[in-house]
Amino acid sequence: MLKKILMIAGVCFSLSATAQKTVYRSYNYIGVLAGESKPGYQMLTTHGLQLGTYFVGVGGGFDTYKEESFPVFVSAAKYLSRGKNDFFLNANAGTVFVSKHRPANWLGATTSETRPGLFGEMGLAYRLQLHAMKSGQGVLFGMYYSYKAYKEKLTTPMFCISPPCPNQYESLNFYLHRWAFKVGFVL
């Protein structure tokens, strides 16, 4: 029994000690997205906890590459050193909701419906702590590979001699690869 109590106490102590080092951080970026299609822009905000050189959090934002869309993701980062100005690796993974408002009867389709797809980013960023900033805060510069995918489902009623006529379905699948250059700040 005593052994169990000591173990629980140990775990609690350890967690308490860990909690003391955990810091809330908010990473906020704007970025330029360059790929095969017309360049787009991105605004992302990520909120989470930093523990030592590690950061985990959740984020969301706005992405205009190809189609306006709203990524939602989990984010993880690892600082390569402990200093005022550090490089860190960062990865985001989640889903993206596309906001597409097709005109009625666009390309002959009665309805056009976009379906969420995958969103993912991986890159290297640099935190630069300016004089007025507190420890851990800083201006950010990063370069990422960024991926966005979604589907657009088009429904078109087929002509038939004896209605109700069946619908014809067609899907357009978009798998978009781009480079993202980002600037921002961490608080």
Residues that bind other proteins (CB under 8 A): 32, 34-37, 39, 66, 104-110, 141, 143, 145, 154, 156-165, 168-181, 183
Min dist. Cβ of residue 85 to other proteins (A): 11
Spatial separation of the C-alpha atoms in residues 174 and 65, rounded to whole Å: 11
Spatial separation of the C-alpha atoms in residues 36 and 157, rounded to whole Å: 33
Q: CB neighbours (10 Å) of residue 29?
A: 24
Spatial separation of the C-alpha atoms in residues 77 and 60, rounded to whole Å: 16
Q: 46 or 146, CB closer to other proteins?
A: 146
Phi, psi of 4 (to 5 degrees): -65, -45
Min dist. Cβ of residue 20 to other proteins (A): 35
Min dist. Cβ of residue 113 to other proteins (A): 12
Min dist. Cβ of residue 94 to other proteins (A): 20
Are 177 and 35 in contact by the 8 Å Cβ rule? The answer is yes
* CA distances from residue 13 to 3, 6, 51, 75 in whole angstroms, order as listed: 15, 10, 16, 28
Q: 57 or 66, CB closer to other proteins?
A: 66
Q: 52 or 108, CB closer to other proteins?
A: 108
Min dist. Cβ of residue 112 to other proteins (A): 8
Q: 29 or 50, CB closer to other proteins?
A: 29
Q: 47 or 86, CB closer to other proteins?
A: 86
Min dist. Cβ of residue 115 to other proteins (A): 12
Spatial separation of the C-alpha atoms in residues 2 and 127, rounded to whole Å: 47
Both structure tokens of 7? 């173990």
Phi, psi of 23 (to 5 degrees): -125, 135
Q: 74 or 89, CB closer to other proteins?
A: 89
Q: Residue 83: how many CA atoms within 13 Å on its side-chain side?
A: 9
